[in-house]
Amino acid sequence: MAMGVSGSRPRLYGGRGYKPMSQINVTPFVDVMLVLLVVFMVTAPLLTVGVEVDLPEGEAPVLEGQDEPLEVTVDSAGQVFVQETVVALDELAPRLVAITNRKADTRIFVRGDRTIDYGRVMAVMATVNAAGFSRVALVMEIPPPAGAK
């Protein structure tokens, strides 16, 4: 009778004992990560659609920031939207104050359709400034490079 390392138990499988596996199988982990990557790549553009407007073109540096800006949009019909909700101009300031919890340093992007009257966009900007928000920016479309169409 052969003696094993653990005492009186014989070794199984032709003298080879059970050895712990020292490698981790990462294949299922990689498969899950690739599926998540594809899901996020497909859904990310859909999350930032917002209200459809035809933005004017211009050249300016891109604003960098850590926080997510709040978008106020004026569409071609002159309706004002906060994110994707229609708001009357006289209700815009209280709505912005409520959404931001009275944080005056919140970034607000104003998007205006290129066909809308300039005065309507300026009325929205004035309302936002009167509500106490100082970090307000106009959003425009960057034109394609000279050779691209």
Domain positions in the chain are 70-139
pLDDT at 63: 57
Q: How many helices (H) and strands (E) does the chain have?
A: 3, 5
pLDDT at 16: 63
pLDDT at 66: 55
Angstrom distance (rounded) from CA 34 to CA 129: 45
Fold designation for 70-139? Nucleotidyltransferase; domain 5 (3.30.420)
24-77, pLDDT tens digit by residue? 888 888 999 999 999 888 877 666 556 666 666 666 566 565 567 788 989 888
Instruction: Classify residue 124 as exposed, middle or buried by CB count within 10 Å of its CB (0-12, 13-18, 19+).
Output: buried
**Number of C-beta neighbours around residue 96 at 10 A:** 21
Average pLDDT over residues 103-107: 83
113-141, pLDDT tens digit by residue? 888 888 888 899 889 888 888 888 888 77
84-95, pLDDT tens digit by residue? 889 998 999 899
- Contact in structure between 124 and 133 (CB atoms under 8 Å): no
Confidence of residue 101 (pLDDT cuts 50, 70, 90): confident
Say yes or no to pLDDT of 10 above 70. Answer: no
> Edge to edge, what strands does the sheet with 80-82 contain?
85-87, 80-82, 70-74, 108-112, 136-139
Chain position carrying tokens 């006289």: 90
Instruction: Classify residue 138 as exposed, middle or buried by CB count within 10 Å of its CB (0-12, 13-18, 19+).
Output: middle
User: pTM of the predicted model, to two decimals?
Assistant: 0.55
